[in-house]
Structure 1
């Protein structure tokens, strides 16, 4: 199996690189499996606290390699693209990663690539980034979570604008509507994403994971259900060693060093 997804540890970070540049990083079944394995590593390894998703080549991704994905579909029951028990990078039919992911987009990012961003937490894009959610122009619709997460991320009407037009739009528009949280010059997206991920990794891991869990609970079950669980989550965190470390550091007017327990 070739390395269509590459990983690199940097302290508490896991860099996850799409590595099929000769095919514009089109996501074929093998690549999806490798991407799931990388997300699963990030989720399960206690030393890892944040992921950075990036891509080699001039495209972030051209989306799904539809011909290969459709061809593999009948075998999905026997040999699933998302390994059983593994993390689903799109978070639609399997386990979700409990740790945050910062995405670094250079160049075009199409269809399933946008849905990867929407299922992550923060996106940095260079000024040369381009985006298209073009499924309806191909006779299907966004089935990687786009119809649900677009409205949550950018508002319903902004979502309709790009979901129904299937148009290509630039980094200016992506930033305007909130699909992208930070814009940088071409070639700077990865370093900017790493800087954000390093800042996140300095925070209390249990607090970060509880924050992600609470936001996702709200998105899935509604605000009132999420609010009803806040007090119990807070009490559990107060009993952690990291909470004591945080309080002691605050009293001493120094930066806390957290260990994730």
Structure 2
């Protein structure tokens, strides 16, 4: 497993847990964090034993966005990673899930601040859990900046446009309950339990057929901007091959035999 000084990686069964680990700065984005995040997504994609990913933050915060001190020219930690950015100028966007979509489901476990770049990364995740005191928002316009991590495109596709525009144009904070009310997150849980809930959801996913799970996720995103007719045709292209897999046969057999299925990605 990889990881950097600002991003820890650990395994919980078939789940890869990526933890933003810069609590003294509310997990503001740093170069080591971005490199670690990108490497984590790649590890999950390449390891068939990993069936789900949980993204969370250390120290009671998720992510407070970009390090504004670094943006102001005061330097960013982790200069030793500059060669990685030179080799792949899009690495930071992939890390933030702007230019990259892992094939495994990604579950966000949010406590505390999830603002600016944190809310932008959130939009790249698939399932979202938050502690009741979590705070969300896109604060960029208040700083005279632009939320260039994808929010002007993705947010209006994930929540009603009127709510997307209010969040984008006011730069105000949103409580977890309000974020759930507009559909930005799916679960609000007691503070300190977001990771537990996310891992519980991950376990439910891990118990399902991995080929089916990945095909379903791919189909949802692939067809999102298609017409219904084109989307239904594309769905058949993704779905029919799953019925011919050994895992599909195992699922039906296990159901008939009243036992847990043993899936082998075959």
TM-score, structure 2 normalization = 0.89
Are positions 1:108 and 2:116 aligned together? Answer: no
The alignment partner of 2:94 has SS state of coil
Find the counterpart in structure 1 of residue 223 from structure 2.
Answer: 218
Q: Does residue 1:149 correspond to 2:154, yes or no?
A: yes
TM-aligned CA distance change 1:230 to 1:61, over 3 Å: same
C-alpha distance in 2 between matches for 1:256 and 1:123: 27
Pair 1:64–1:161, CA change in 2 (3 A)? same
In 1: Cα distance, 2:184 partner to 2:95 partner: 18
Query: Structure 2 matches for 1:226-245, cutoff 5 A?
Result: 226-245=231-250
1:49 to 44, 48, 51: 51
Q: 1:70 to 1:203 in 2, by over 3 A?
A: farther
How many residues are treated as equivalent by the alignment?
Answer: 258
Q: Give, in whole Å, the separation in 1 of the partners of 2:89 and 2:57.
A: 20
Structure 2 CA distance for partners of 1:22 and 1:80, relative to 1, 3 Å: farther
Long gaps (5+) in structure 1: none
Distance change >3 Å, CA 209–CA 258, structure 1 → 2 = same
- 1:49-102 C-alpha deviation (Å, 9 max, x unpaired): 00111111132111011443576899886244655xx99233333x42111011
SS of the residue 1:17 aligns to: strand
8 A Cα contact 2:5 2:32, kept in partner: no
Partner residue of 2:86 out of 65, 78, 87:
78
Give the Cα–Cα distance (whole angstroms) in 2 for the partners of residues 103 and 77 of structure 1: 25
Q: 1:28-67: per-residue Cα shift (whole Å, max 9, x none)?
A: 1221111110111111111000011111113211101144
Cα distance between partner residues in 2 of 1:235 and 1:60: 39
Alignment of 1:166-245 (within 5 A): 166-245=171-250
SS in 2 for 1:190: helix
| Distance (Å, rounded) in 2 between the aligned partners of 1:9 and 1:77 | 27
The answer to whether the Cα contact below 8 Å between 2:137 and 2:173 also exists between their aligned partners in 1 is: yes
When residues 81 and 185 of structure 1 are mapped into structure 2, their CA distance, relative to the original with a 3 A threshold, is: farther
CA shift, 1:247, in A, is 1.3
Question: Aligned equivalents of 1:171 and 1:236: distance in 2?
Answer: 40
3-state SS in 1 of match to 2:223: helix
Greater alpha carbon shift after TM alignment, 141-150 vs 105-114: 141-150
Q: Contact conserved, 1:33 with 1:81, CA < 8 A, in 2?
A: no
Conserved? CA contact 2:98–2:149, under 8 Å:
yes
**Which residue is 2:260 aligned to?**
255
Asked if the contact 2:111–2:134 (Cα under 8 Å) also holds between the matched residues in 1, the reply is: yes
Tell me what 1:30 maps to: 32
After superposition, the Cα gap between the structure-2 partners of 1:239 and 1:70, relative to the gap in structure 1 and judged at 3 Å, is farther
Superposition RMSD on alpha carbons, in Å? 2.4
Distance 2:17 2:83 in 1: 30
**Residue from 115, 128, 136 that aligns with 1:131:** 136
Counterpart position of 2:94: 88
Tell me if structure 2 keeps the 8 A contact 1:104–1:123. yes
**Which segments of 5 or more consecutive residues in structure 2 lack a partner in the other structure?**
77-81
- How much does 1:120 deviate? 0.7
